[in-house]
A and B are shown apart, each in its own frame.
Chain A
Amino acid sequence: MSAAREYPPPPDVITGRVAWVFGDDFDIDLVVGVENIKSYDADFLRGVVMQAYDPGFADRVRPGDVIVGGRNFGYGHPHYPPMVALRDLGVAAVLAESFSPGFWRGETHNGMPLITVPGIAGAVVTGDALRLDWRTAAVTLDDGRTLRGVPPSDRVVRVVEAGGSLKLLLAEHSRT
């Protein structure tokens, strides 16, 4: 259940490139292939991540990059390892037209900024540079355009700032 590695909270402004643009109803399990969804071994996952889409993905992604999705991103029974693999490569946020609730809840728990940005899937292509202020859901593209998304609630901001729900809960409720 626990991710193999821990990740620090994101910076206030995430600066990177669009590492990939997925379509509507995208099942996150497909990022590593259904046969690999039970692995939490980051080294193993690195070898299988995005093989069905772009075999060079793992070598070109840099810290701060984001992935972009269409409507209902994360649809299905979203397992955690695909996002472990993407985070391990440096993917810092997911921007999508909308998110599937199960994926949204699970990855928010893990401290990943998941930002709903209407129009994002048609506004960018793989490789585009962008800046994301995740608290205000403001996305600034390289050509100066700005897209406004739906800012996360105060509670979700606190979860992401803490590096995930477990860390926030520990800070608030640990008796040890």
Chain B
Amino acid sequence: MGATMAEKILARAAGVEHVRAGENLPVRPDHMIAYDFPGYTDVMFRQMHDDFGIRELADPGRYVVFIDHMLTRGDAREEEVHQVTRDWCAFYGITLHEARGIGHQVMAELGYARPGNFLVHFDGHVSGAGAFGALGWGVRRDLLEAWVTGEIFLDVPASTRFELTGEFRPGVDSRDLVHRIIGDHGADGCAHQVMEFGGPGARAMAIDHRQGLCGMAMFTGAVSAVFEPDSTALEYARRVAGDGFVPQYPDPDADYRAVHHYDLASIVPQVVLPGSARSANTRDAADLDGTAVTRAFIGSCASGRIEDIRAAALVLDGRNVAPGVELNVVPTSDAVHRQAEQEGLLDVLRAAGAHIARSSCDFCFGYQKPLQPEENCISTGVLNISGRMGSTGANIYMGSASTVAASAVAGTIVPAQEVTGR
């Protein structure tokens, strides 16, 4: 029986010929990534230094730290948190990437998410690296194990294969697909597994949408997600990282837990009801028509990339955000921000009444402009549990950038087609 992509990536990283799902073994990540957050990185650095006596890292180039949270209040506490991170990174010789955008996007732009690579982070949205054929795994506090030992013990996951055909229709993207997958197979449909994407639909999908799809893998119960690297992914990787990678592909007779087929042209806009992304909360956006919103948000590590901003601009061009609605757009990185500006997309959004904010994670977790009680928000954020974006009395619906833009124009939740006619 052949091997899945995840098995091949982990075997290479573990330095062994083969691994099989179910095996537990130590694996050496190519990069061990974190963002600074109080109680996480500051504690881990202190533990490395004080508890483990580590004064020098064997291989500091494998450690990557981003400052992408808590950038928008500009107060003393914010500065203090980040200074601790700067000091520790300087002490250990770790490259720190500060305020260049959301780390899960910037890691791709800087060439960390290379085909065939294995990455760990405490945050599960590192799975977005799968767009490039890399395996990114959110290991929570066990990141400390990787930081201290250079390796991490893992149960090799089984994989579920998703064979994709067709192309998304206008106003539909990978956010709709992932929520449809959850609706069809449940919030544990891929539990403890890796989602492996391939087929002509996968090759036709924009890299941005692949990143958004892989970044949401945890809501199917998966530990990660990977696309078979195609010419699009390889060209991107070569541009940012040179040839220093070994792409991995699944064997034709790879052993999958399940194989699911999706025709992307059959996917219609999806919206997730407040609470969580579980199956029972997934609806066709058209079924929620009439649900009033006061806030709309396009951004996050899942959906603030150039394709999302282009989609929003298509909807907002020549239209206005409805009175009483605040639309905030946060490009996923500074590079995305610059490109959106150069393409004139941000002018379109501004003319429609949208607010454009500096790239950070701050809207997504309720740090910047928190929601007030009784507010309804339609969001491309990654999470809609109570209190995620501010008050526990606010409601968060989730949808694609097209759906959020259209809902901001209508003042109620609607699929983009109802606004654009396309």
Contact = CB atoms under 8 A, between A and B. Distances in A.
B142 A105 contact: yes
A173 B52 contact: yes
Contacts of A105: 139-140, 142
B141 A1 contact: yes
* Residue with the highest number of chain A CB atoms closer than 10 Å, among B222, B383, B385: B385
| Chain A interface size, under 10 / 10 to 19 / 20 to 34 / 35 or more | 35 or more
Contacts of B387: 34-35, 37
Given A1-B39, A175-B54, A176-B52, A169 B188 contact: no
A169 B142 CA distance: 10
Contacts of B149: 169, 172-173
Given A1-B40, A101-B191, A155-B24, A170 B141 contact: no
Nearest to A170: B51
Given A1-B40, A154-B24, A170-B52, A100 B140 contact: no
- Top 7 A-B pairs, shortest CB-CB distance: A175-B53, A1-B39, A72-B188, A176-B53, A153-B24, A106-B140, A34-B387
Interface of A: 1-2, 25, 27, 29, 34-35, 37, 71-72, 75-77, 98, 100-102, 104-106, 109-110, 153-156, 165-166, 169-170, 172-176
Contact of B392 (A25, A34, A165): A34
Given A169-B145, A169-B149, A174-B52, A101 B223 contact: yes
Nearest to A154: B24
A27 B153 contact: no
| Chain B interface size, under 10 / 10 to 19 / 20 to 34 / 35 or more | 35 or more
A29 B145 CA distance: 25
Nearest to A75: B187
Interface of B: 24, 39-40, 43, 47, 50-54, 124, 138-142, 144-145, 148-149, 153, 155, 186-188, 191-192, 218, 221-223, 276, 278, 383, 385-387, 392
A132 to B, nearest CB: 21
Nearest to A77: B383
Contact of A109 (B51, B142, B148, B218): B142
29 contacts: A1-B40, A1-B141, A2-B39, A25-B188, A25-B276, A25-B278, A27-B385, A35-B392, A37-B387, A72-B186, A75-B187, A76-B385, A98-B188, A100-B221, A101-B191, A101-B192, A101-B221, A105-B142, A106-B141, A109-B140, A153-B155, A165-B142, A165-B145, A166-B47, A166-B141, A169-B52, A169-B145, A170-B52, A173-B52
